[in-house]
Amino acid sequence: MSRRLRSVALGAALVLAPVTPAWLVLAATPAIAVEPGEELADPALEARARALSAGLRCLVCQNQSIDDSDAALAKDLRLLVRERLAAGDSDREVIDYLVSRYGEFVLLNPRLHWTTLALWGAPVVLLLAGGLFAVATVRRRAAEARNPALTAEEEKAVDAVLKERGL
């Protein structure tokens, strides 16, 4: 995507209605990715390539995978992924290779690392904490209802009785 279009993009992002992904508006030539001739002859390999591309970010676009983007760089990356696969790389090797060249930023699905621990852990921790809290609250309230705390007057009466008996 050209520099001029990207600056249009920055402006458009500010202007758009809330639910409109900014890149929709800046996808100036909304022709779609994967052109005829790019596909690999082996359908199994091509399926792997598509799955991999869907998880790789087009670095010059906003939040688009290389599978969806029509930018020149996305096309280069798509061809690169297919080249590596055809050369016999495993999925993991392809990803490692791309990360070594472009950094973690290229992955739409961030890998587990200490910096992403909070990201991946949050859903689990929140669900467990929320669930435990809810169960505890329901139990506590039920217990309170079964053995209601003494009112101030009852407390006084008990104190009086205890004092009377010298306890």
Partner 1 sequence: MIVELGHFALVLALALALVQSVLPLIGARVGDARLMETGSTTALGGFVMLALAFAALTHAYVVSDFSVLNVAENSHSAKPLLYKITGVWGNHEGSMLLWVLILSFFGALVALFGRDLPASLKANVLSVQAWITVAFLLFILLTSNPFARLDPPPFEGNDLNPILQDIGLAIHPPMLYLGYVGFSIAFSFAVAALIDGRIDAAWARWVRPWTLVAWVFLTAGIAMGSYWAYYELGWGGWWFWDPVENASFMPWLSGTALLHSALVMEKRSALKIWTVLLAILTFSLSLLGTFLVRSGVLTSVHAFATDPTRGVFILGILCVFVGGSLALFALRASSLEGGGLFAPISREGALVFNNLFLTTACATVLIGTLYPLVLEVTTGAKISVGPPFFNLTFGPLMLPLLFAVPFGPLLAWKRGDLLGAAQRLYFAAGAAFVAVLFVMAITQGAAILSALGVGLAVWLMIGSFVDLWGRASFAKAGFSNALRRLAGLPRSVFGTAIAHFGLGATLLGIVAVGAFGTETVTTMAPGQTVHAGGWGVRFEGLAPRDGPNFTEEVGRFTILDGTSEAGRIESARRLYTARQQPTTEAGISTHLFSQVYVALGDAVANGGQTVVRIWTKPLVTLIWLGCVAMAIGGLVSLSDRRLRIGAPARAKRRGGRPIAEPAE
Comparing CB distances to partner 1, the nearer of 101 and 162 is 101
Using the minimum distance from each CB to partner 1, give the nearer residue, 63 or 90.
Answer: 63
C-alpha 20: how far from chain center: 19
> Where on the chain is the footprint of partner 1 (CB under 8 A)?
9-10, 12-25, 27-36, 39, 54-55, 57, 62-63, 65, 68, 103-110, 115-116, 118-120, 122-123, 126-127, 130-131, 134-135, 138, 141-142, 145
We find the least distance from the C-beta atom of residue 28 to partner 1, in angstroms, to be 6
List helix spans (H) across the chain. 3-15, 22-26, 43-54, 72-86, 91-102, 117-146, 152-164
Strand partners, 57: 65
- Based on CB atoms, which residue is closest to partner 1, 57 or 84? 57
**Residues paired with residue 56 on neighbouring β-strands, in sequence order:** 107
